[in-house]
Structure 1
Amino acid sequence: MNDRAPAPGELALVEALVNTLDVEKGADSLDTEAGRTAFGLTEAGVPGARELREALRAACLAHAGREVSTASLDRLLAAAPLLVTVDGAGAAALRPADPGALASRVAAAIASAHADGTWPRLKACEAEDCQWAYYDRSPAGRSRWCTMAVCGSRAKMRKYRAGRAKG
């Protein structure tokens, strides 16, 4: 959908999951074998992955400034067991209790991204017909669209036309 670099570190997993649905075209890559394989899913795991994806999209929209409920994400992550691990240097990290469980992998990625301050920069495009997840690398962290060339231009043109229609 856009040409931005992927989110850093484990946050790329969250971004990729949210972007399994192309809102504009209605295409869901979780409907394909390749799409399911990319996340270690079976067909039986797809409904849960879709619920998680949409809950994550809501959080990304919240990062972009939209008022949304994140209660379903809270519920899904509460059921995703994590373990605290300590490496040879004594550094602690949260890891999925079941490395194959998508929700646990996502929970660990969010915890890591929160710890390093990158979590709030994972946003969803403001355009209703897009909502593509992207990592905001702008200095001020105030990017609103996945790409200025498409979604940003469309929004500015709609605003311009609305202003001309009033005048």
Structure 2
Amino acid sequence: MNEKDSAPGGLALIEALVNTLDIETGADALDTADGRAAFFLTEPDVPDARVLREALRTACLAHAGHRPPDGSAAPPLDRLLAEAPLRVTVDAAGAASLRPAAEPAGLTARVAAAIAISAADGTWARLKACEAEDCQWAYYDRSPAGRRRWCSMSVCGARAKMRTYRAKRG
């Protein structure tokens, strides 16, 4: 369930990582060489990337006000991000930026920097996951009130509204 606009800044990395798994079909882009290359991962990196992905999905679901249907706790995102120290850098013009402490930066460090920057600018909570249990696609909520529930109103939203309508009539 793709949305036309991807998330801004570093949130695009997180959105893309969460969306490497198509829950409806079970297809996982991290199973392919191209999918791994998009995140600069090698095959041995994939299990950790999957754990990170699902912890991020849980955070995106929480941003949208949802909890996993089975009540299970996903691996804690804060524990994963603690393994990715960041540092503040200041350039010659005095502009400060947040960077991973290690170079080259691994996926977890790049995600940690993106979360820290987006939390500071107020965009982190707008990265959400679709309410549809068979979707849970990450999307950036650009609605004025920040209350969007589905990745796509024309697909997942329409399905949910149709189910509600049928339940009331039946």
> Conserved in 2, the CA contact under 8 Å of 1:82 and 1:95?
yes
Structure 1: which 4+ aligned runs deviate by more than 6 Å? Answer: none
Query: Cα RMSD over matched residues?
Result: 1.3
Change (3 A) 1:71 1:50: closer
Residues 86-118 of structure 1 deviation map (CA, whole Å, 9 limit, x = unaligned): 122323222112333100000000001011111
> Conserved in 2, the CA contact under 8 Å of 1:124 and 1:145?
yes
CA deviation after TM superposition for structure 1 residue 71, in Å: 5.8
Normalised to the residue count of structure 1, the TM-score between the two structures is 0.94
**1:110 to 2:110 alignment:** no
**1:96 to 2:118 alignment:** no
**1:158 to 2:166 alignment:** no
Normalised to the residue count of structure 2, the TM-score between the two structures is 0.92
1:21-100 equivalent positions in 2, closer than 5 A: 21-67=21-67, 69=73, 72-98=76-102, 99-100=104-105
**1:136 to 2:141 alignment:** yes
Counterpart selection for 1:122 from 112, 117, 127 = 127
Percent of aligned positions that are identical: 73
2-structure distance, mates of 1:131, 1:66: 10
2-structure distance, mates of 1:76, 1:3: 28
Q: How many residue pairs get matched?
A: 165
1-structure distance, mates of 2:118, 2:17: 15
1-structure distance, mates of 2:74, 2:123: 18
